[in-house]
Structures are given as structure tokens and as C-alpha cells.
Amino acid sequence: MLLNQTDAASASVTEELSDRELLQRFEVERDEAAFAAVIRRHGPMVLRVGQRVLDRREDAEDVFQATFLVLAKKAGTVTWRESIGTWLHEAAQRLAREVRRNRARRQAREARRETSPEGDALAEVTSRELLTILDDEMASLPEDLRAPLLLCCLEGMSSDEAANQLGCSPSTVKRRLRQARELLQARLARRGVALSVTALATLLALGTATAKVPAALVTATTRAATQFVSGIPLASGLVSTAGLALTRHLLPIIGIKAKILVGLLVMGGLIGAGATFYGFGKDADAESPAIAAALPEEGRDVREVARVAKPSVLATVETTLRTSGPQIRQYAFDGNPLSCYASANNPSAADHFTLLFDKPVAVKSVGVQTGYPNDSWILTAGQLEVSADGVVFEPLAGFKGGLARGNAGGRKLVAVRVHPEAQTHPLVIREFTIDSDLPVAVFRQPVEFAVDVTAAPEMAAWANRTAQTCERAYPMICDELAAEGFRPPSLIPFVIRRDASGLVGVSGGRIIASSGYFEANPHDVGAVVYATSHVVQAYRGKSRPGWLVNGIADYIRFFKFEPGAIEPPNPLTARYDGDSRETAAFLAYLVATYDSSLVRRLNEALRNGQYTDDIWVSLTKKSLRELGDEWHRSLRR
């Protein structure tokens, strides 16, 4: 559909659609009117971001076009939110800074005559630096606060319009706007920029008048996007040489390579087996460190596959059967048909293998494939059963040739299970498949805590509940401790002993917990999560500071697993390298102030044996001592 053929009625319809719906139209139908609607909706904000960072309007327009061309190319490869404003803001900001860095490097190499600032040149530079600080802090705001701030303050939407874009109520938008402004004010104050509410509003709106997108730029970018994604050579004059070079330099790193890598991982059966995807960024860094990081996380294909956040229901495995070695229970529902659960013993008619959902789900159909990929040890007799309450089960389908599949008719269910008849071999379950209105999430980081209560049988119920809690937390722990080439363990022995030397500890990849302590303190599950982090860390060598290793584990516990469980450190006695809880609070401050990926990057350096105190300068531009002093000052406020 060509833009100049779209009538007013069609344009009105597209303006009412969400960003996600517009991108779907563009991807499926190559609807130029839909993509133009996205540009009209967010283009002024994207152009303004470029103008804030760059002093030449031509450079800002190059960033504008590159941002939307990358968006067009990725329209069908990413799961988008209803509004993509935050993605565009972060992408444009990072691309603009890359252009500025490149220009500064070129200018530094050129011999040029020094001139004195004339007119308001100095004021313009100061203003631009202030806006850079503002954009830095905006980018670090939580997504639910950043989105309404961008839509209302930078794009000029009303609360009702922003609510329609974000899929929430106007009162929610107003509340989040207030929280966003307060948090932004506090973070700016920490950087020496004290602004009143009025001054902050003025600064947010700065540049609105000059950021009007010319109609010719909208038209050229829309048509270039259509030709670009269709593989057609771009018509002359649609995109500048610099804008096209910026786009083409970016896409091979964050697009094509990512798709190839994901395809290889899927074919090799590695996704379901718990492969770690974060190493992709390192390959990109080898070519261009700045460009490799030029897109926000929502637009990175590899991380999108591994960590896409969709509304879904979680599940838990319950079974009467013991696990055979590394063929853990969660492999039965991990999205990978090449991984399998296997029981340690032959099943009887009294056994079962159950997936229990966190809440009722309208299920259309359920299927289960048993046996190994070579079709050995398939289940030849038994039932696939379903339950609406988790107590009473009824047959849905019988097993034939190792497979059972049944139509659940949209019934609300809370559990599905395999109920075998007696077999002469172990039960092997290759994969459950569940088609439901609200997806049931597969286990993306399969793990099993192998409970051993031989020395303390009275602790069995507590140990099994705690194991399930830790299995739920495991994907989060692995996300925080991800590194290139690292594959976290999928089987963790969890031993409860009366003679444990401490409350809970780690030895040889095993978690050993004191029965006496946890019998008296059954709610202190966070201590086991802390130990789990140590199992995943498993750093080798001696050049790793213990205060930081333990601090990262407590950061995961107290700021990811159970936030708010501890009081702020005492500013009179706190040390960044003191108690591990104080180190955790120090790291949380740095994550909120400087870099949301700081803990992951520290972890990767520790794992690779590359940690030195110089890393703090590379991550924050400040020494460890300077950061410690800054943190102390924040505690006294």
C-alpha cells in the first residue's frame, strides 16, 4: 500500500491503532500508512533526542532515519509492547552518541584553528551537557515509569492518550508520572542538578519547537523503510549516505548474526538444555563496541528469545518418581524436544508426573510425547489426564505409540499429568505441549534441586518447598550471573544435615543446610537463594575479592529475590567492602545510578579472571574509592 494512495479515513484508522498493531500491519502487508503513523507519533521525540546530543541538524536527521530503518527491519523479529516509545528513545540516544563520538574522534585527528566561542555558543554547550545528563537518568528509570514520562512530557500526549497507548487507566498514568518526576528529580540531585518541578518540566520540553519533523522527511523515511525491508535498492535521495551507513553498520551485528546464532542453537537442541545466550554481545564487541550496544535490550534478537517478557502462567512439576541422574524433571516442559526427563525407577500404576499451573488456564489442547528421540522407552499404556482443581483428575487421551493428545475444549484447568500403567522400563517424557489462551511458560532455565533429607527426614516438607522456590528463582539468578560460554548447572544437590558446619553453605556444587537452623527459621529461604548464587558463581582461581563475590550473592538475594528485606546501611559504619549486605547495597546504588548491567559485567570479569580495580573506572568513569565516597554521601541524605 503506497502512502500517497491512503485516504483520510484509512489514516484515521491507523492513528487509533497501538504501535504493536501498526508494526504488525507493516510487517505483514507492507502498509506504508501504518509505518508513517508510527513515525508521526514518535518522530518528533526521536528527532529531538538527536538534536539534544548533536549540534548539526543533518546528523540528527541521519540518526532519525537510521533509528526508523532499524525498527522497520526488526518489525517482525521482536515481540513489541503496545507502545515502542521507550525503545525508540533509547535506540536514538545511543546512536546519536555514537555519531558524536565518531565526529569527536575525526575532529581530534584534524589540525584546526582554535576559535573563541561567539554569541551563545558556550550556553548552548552547557545546555546540551545538561540535557545529556537528563537523558542518561531518564534511560535508567524503570520501564513502567519511563514510558508515561516519554509519552506525556516528550511527545506531548494527554494522560488519556498515553493510557490508551500503554493499555492502562489515566489514573495509573498520572500516578506513574508523579513517581517518575520525583525519582528523576532525586537522581538529578545526586549528580548536582537541583531542579524544581517547573524547571524539570521546562527542561523535558526543551527543543519541542525545533523538533517538528518535516513532512518530506516522514515520507522519505517511510518509503525507504518499505524498500529497505523488501530488499529493493533505495531510490536516490531518500536516505543520506551517512544515515544509510549507520543503519547498515548496525544491522549485521544485532540482526543477522543473532538470527543465525539462535537458529543454530535451536537446531542443536541447546536452548532447552539451558544454553546461555549473553555471549553474543562479545562477538559484536570485537567489531564495534559502541555500535554493538547501540540498541536497547528489547531490540536485541538473542536476548529477546532468551528473556522475552510475555504475560504467562508459571508451572511446577510434581511427581512420585525419582529422577535419573541429569535427566531432570523440567526437561519435560522446556520447549526442546531433544531433551528428556527420565525416571530412576520403572513406573507403576500408582505413579504420576504432573504439571501444576499457578492459576487456572483456559486450555484448548494438550499433547505429550514420551520416549527418547530414537523412540526407545516410549509409553505404550497409560492416560493423559487433566484437572480443574488439582485434586480430581479425569482422562483426556490415551497413549498410543508413545504419544497422547487431546482436545480440552477451552476448559479452565490447573493441572495436566501423565498417569502411566506399569512399565518394564523407566518413564521418559520428551515434551508436553499446551495450547491455551494465556500461555503456560516453559522452563527456560531448566534446573532441579535434588533434595536429600536422609540425615533429617523430618525436614522433607520444608526442603521440597524450598527447592521449588529456588527453582522458580533460578532463571533470575542465571540472568544476573550470565557470561559468554558459561552454562549454569542444571542439577543441584540440596542436602539437609544435623551436623552441618554452618547455617547453609556450598561444597563441590552442593548446598548443605543445617536442619536445626531451618527448623527454627523456616522462612529464611533467602539464605538458600544466597547459597544458590554461589553455586552458579563457582569462580575459579584466587584473584577474586571475597567482599565482591559475597556482595553479588547478597545483591541477588536482597535486591532481586526479596527486595526491601533489609534496612539501609548505617552511614557511620558502612563500607563498600565490609559486610556482604553493605556491599549489596553499594552495588544496588551503582546499578540505579550508573549502569543497570553493572553486576552482570562485574560477574563476567570475575568469571573470566579479568577483574581488577580498574574495571570500576571503565564502567562508571570513577575509581572504586570515589564510588565508595559517593555512596556514603547518598546514605547521609
State the burial class of residue 285 (Cβ atoms within 10 Å of its Cβ: 0-12, 13-18, 19+). middle
Alpha helix segments (H runs only) across 495-623: 515-520, 526-537, 546-556, 580-593, 598-607, 615-620
Grid cell in block for residue 568 = 539501609
Distance separating alpha carbons of residues 572 and 579, to the nearest angstrom: 14
Weakest-pLDDT range from 230-234, 282-286, 472-476, 623-627: 282-286
Higher pLDDT, 31 or 535: 535
Q: What's the pLDDT at 526?
A: 94
Q: Which pLDDT band holds residue 108 (cuts at 50, 70, 90)? A: low
Task: Provide the Cα torsion 74, 78, 82, 83; round to 10°.
Answer: -50
Same domain, 397 and 527: no
Q: What's the pLDDT at 129?
A: 61
Q: What's the pLDDT at 191?
A: 62
Q: Which pLDDT band holds residue 255 (cuts at 50, 70, 90)? A: very low
Average pLDDT over residues 514-536: 94
For residue 428, is it within any domain? Answer: yes
Average pLDDT over residues 582-600: 94
For residue 622, is it within any domain? Answer: yes
Q: What are the φ/ψ torsions at residue 361 (nearest 5 degrees)?
A: -130, 135
Q: Is the pLDDT of residue 400 over 50?
A: yes
Q: Is the pLDDT of residue 107 over 70?
A: no
Average pLDDT over residues 35-58: 85
Q: What's the pLDDT at 294?
A: 36
Q: What's the pLDDT at 446?
A: 95
Residue 365: strand pairing partners: 407, 435
Same domain, 324 and 301: no
Residue owning grid cell 499429568: 417
Average pLDDT over residues 169-194: 78
Q: First-to-last CA distance in the chain? A: 58
CA 459 to each of CA 453, 496, 510: distance values in angstroms, whole numbers, following the listed order: 7, 8, 17
Q: What's the pLDDT at 310?
A: 52
Work out the angle at residue 440's Cα, subtended by the Cα atoms of residues 306 and 452, and round it to the nearest 5 degrees: 80
Q: What are the φ/ψ torsions at residue 417 (nearest 5 degrees)?
A: -150, 155
Same domain, 213 and 297: no
Weakest-pLDDT range from 49-63, 277-291, 419-433, 500-514: 277-291
Same domain, 438 and 360: yes
Residue 462, C-beta contacts closer than 8 angstroms, at least 6 positions apart: 518, 519, 522
Q: What's the pLDDT at 458?
A: 95
Task: Write out pLDDT tens, residues 205-216.
Answer: 664 444 678 888
Q: Is the pLDDT of residue 295 over 70?
A: no
Same domain, 463 and 609: yes
Weakest-pLDDT range from 204-213, 396-405, 415-424, 517-526: 204-213
| Domain final residue pick, 259, 279, 307 | 307
Q: Which pLDDT band holds residue 171 (cuts at 50, 70, 90)? A: confident
CATH number at residue 429: 2.60.120.260
Tell me which DSSP letter residue 256 carries. Answer: I
Average pLDDT over residues 590-599: 93
Same domain, 81 and 117: yes
CA 337 to each of CA 321, 368, 531: distance values in angstroms, whole numbers, following the listed order: 21, 11, 31
- Contact indicator for 85, 42 with CB cutoff of 8 Å: yes
Q: What's the pLDDT at 6?
A: 40
Average pLDDT over residues 187-197: 67
Higher pLDDT, 561 or 176: 561
Q: Is the pLDDT of residue 2 over 50?
A: no
Q: Is the pLDDT of residue 293 over 60?
A: no
For residue 312, is it within any domain? Answer: no
Q: Is the pLDDT of residue 259 over 60?
A: no
Distance separating alpha carbons of residues 316 and 474, to the nearest angstrom: 13
Distance separating alpha carbons of residues 164 and 283, to the nearest angstrom: 40
Same domain, 464 and 526: yes
Distance separating alpha carbons of residues 270 and 261, to the nearest angstrom: 11
- Contact indicator for 53, 47 with CB cutoff of 8 Å: no
Higher pLDDT, 105 or 326: 326
For residue 483, is it within any domain? Answer: yes
Q: What's the pLDDT at 123?
A: 39
Same domain, 237 and 264: no
Distance separating alpha carbons of residues 434 and 363, to the nearest angstrom: 7
Q: What's the pLDDT at 76?
A: 67
Grid cell in block for residue 628 = 565508595
Q: What's the pLDDT at 397?
A: 96
| Domain final residue pick, 414, 444, 474 | 444
Grid cell in block for residue 148 = 508515561
Same domain, 301 and 351: no
For residue 313, is it within any domain? Answer: no
Average pLDDT over residues 166-182: 83
pTM of the model: 0.54
Task: Write out pLDDT tens, residues 64-99.
Answer: 898 888 888 877 666 666 678 888 888 887 788 778
Grid cell in block for residue 93 = 540516544
Q: Is the pLDDT of residue 38 over 80?
A: yes
Task: Write out pLDDT tens, residues 343-391.
Answer: 999 999 999 999 999 999 999 999 999 999 888 999 999 999 999 999 9
Q: How are beta strands 491-497 and 510-514 bridged, if at all?
A: parallel
Residue 448: strand pairing partners: 491
Same domain, 275 and 288: yes
Grid cell in block for residue 9 = 479515513
Distance separating alpha carbons of residues 460 and 213, to the nearest angstrom: 65
Average pLDDT over residues 401-428: 96
| Domain final residue pick, 307, 326, 346 | 307
Same domain, 424 and 507: no
Average pLDDT over residues 581-590: 95
- Residue 299: which domain range? 249-307
Q: How many domains does the chain have?
A: 4
Distance separating alpha carbons of residues 436 and 631, to the nearest angstrom: 48
Q: Is 431 helix (H, G, I), strand (E, B) or coil?
A: strand
Percentage of the chain beyond pLDDT 90 is 41
Share the mean pLDDT of the chain: 80
For residue 475, is it within any domain? Answer: yes
Weakest-pLDDT range from 186-190, 285-289, 309-313: 285-289
Q: What's the pLDDT at 282?
A: 28
Weakest-pLDDT range from 12-21, 52-61, 200-209, 243-252: 200-209
Average pLDDT over residues 557-567: 91
Residue 356: strand pairing partners: 316, 415
Q: What's the pLDDT at 10?
A: 47
Nearest Cα neighbor of 446 from 505, 507, 487 is 487
Same domain, 256 and 365: no
